[in-house]
Amino acid sequence: MTDLLRHAEAIWEAVVPTLPGFTVEVLPSIDSTSSELMRRARSGLLDPVLLTAEEQTAGRGRLGKGWHSRPGQSLTFSIALPLAPASWSGLSLAVGVSLAHSLHPDIRLKWPNDLWLQQRKLGGILVETASHGEASTGLRMVVIGVGINIARPEAAVMTAQASANAASLPAMAPAGLAELEVGITAGEALERVAPTLIRDVLAFASQGFGAFAQRFAQRDALQGLAVQLSDGTRGTACGVDDSGALQVLTERGMQAVTSSEVSVRPC
C-alpha cells in the first residue's frame, strides 16, 4: 500500500459525515488531477471528490505555468465541489489561508495563489469552475488544484515554469515542507490539510472572503513590500480589499489588482 493510500480512508471518514457522497481517489500517475476533474465535470459527473496522484506529468498552474511532480517529492491533489457562493472573489485566498493554517505557522501567502516559506515558493493553488445545471441558480462545479513541495526540488528540476519565466523575471529558489518537518510524507500532509480545506471552502460558500480576510492579513507575505506588476508598474503592496483584490500604492495612486489581470513579484 502506498503512502497516499494509507491516508485516504482517514480523510474520507473525516469528511463524509458533512459531505455525503464524497469520495477519495488515489492514482499512480495522471496528466493533471485538475484536468481530470474538469473533464468529469463537463461530462456531467458532479459528485464531490478528492483526486490525488503519486505522479503528475502535466500539471497546470496559474497563467498556464506548469507544475510537475514525482513520487514522494511533492503532493498534488484536486478537490471538486458543487458550490453556489454569493461571490467567487477571494476563493483562492481562502484556500491559501486554510492550507497555511493547517501546515505550519511559518508559512506565508503570496497573493494571489502561492504558499511561501522564507520568501520561497512552497506550493501553488489553481481554482477553476465548470457550469452546473441552470445558470440562474449560480451553482457551479469548482475544481481546486493544489501542489505542495514535500522535498525541496533540485535546481535542475524546477519545472517548466522557471524556464518560461527566465527571460523576464528571475526564478526564486523553491522550498520544501520537509525543511519544517523532517520526514513528513505526502500522505501525512494530505491528511492534515484536506478535511479542513473542504470545511473552509464550504464556509467560504456561505460566508464569503470576509470570513478569511483577517487570517489572510496575518500571513500576507507582500504587505508593505515594494512590488512590480507584470506590466512593469511598481508600487507598495498594501494588503487586499473586501473582494480579495491586491491593493498596490503606485505613483498614480492606489490600484486594485485582480488575479485575472497580472502577476506580482517583490522588487
* Position 135 pLDDT exceeds 80: no
Looking at the chain, how many residues does it have?
267
- In this prediction, what percent of the chain has a pLDDT beyond 90? 71
Residues facing residue 133 across a β-bridge:
none
The domains of the chain are located at 3-218, 226-266
CATH class of 226-266: mainly beta
Superfamily classification of domain 3-218? Bira Bifunctional Protein; Domain 2 (3.30.930.10)
Characterize 23-49 residue by residue with b for buried, 16 or more Cβ atoms within 10 angstroms of its Cβ, and e for exposed.
Answer: ebebeeebebbbbbbbebbeeeebebb
Q: Cβ-count burial of 178 within 10 angstroms (0-12 exposed, 13-18 middle, 19+ buried)?
A: middle
Structure confidence by residue, pLDDT tens digits, 240-257: 999 999 999 999 999 999
d(CA 151, CA 73): 5
At which residue does the C-alpha cell 519565466 appear?
A: 165
Pairing of strands 120-131, 140-149: antiparallel
pLDDT in tens, 161-211: 443 344 344 456 799 999 999 999 999 999 999 999 999 999 999 999 999
For 43-83, how does the pLDDT look when each residue is reduced to its tens digit (9 = 90+)? 988 899 999 999 988 765 554 555 555 666 899 999 999 99
Long-range CB pairs of 134-138 (<8 Å, 24+ gap) are 137/84, 138/84, 138/85
Q: Residue 111 corresponds to which amino acid? A: W
Give the confidence band of 153 by pLDDT, cuts at 50, 70, 90.
Answer: confident
Cβ atoms of 122 and 175 closer than 8 Å: yes
Give me the torsion for CA of 252, 258, 264, 267, rounded to 10°: 30
Q: Look at the pTM and tell me if it is higher than 0.75.
A: yes
What is the grid cell recorded at 150?
514535500
Kind and range of the H or E run holding 37: helix 33-42
Largest CA distance in the chain: 58
User: Locate cell 502535466: which residue?
Assistant: 58
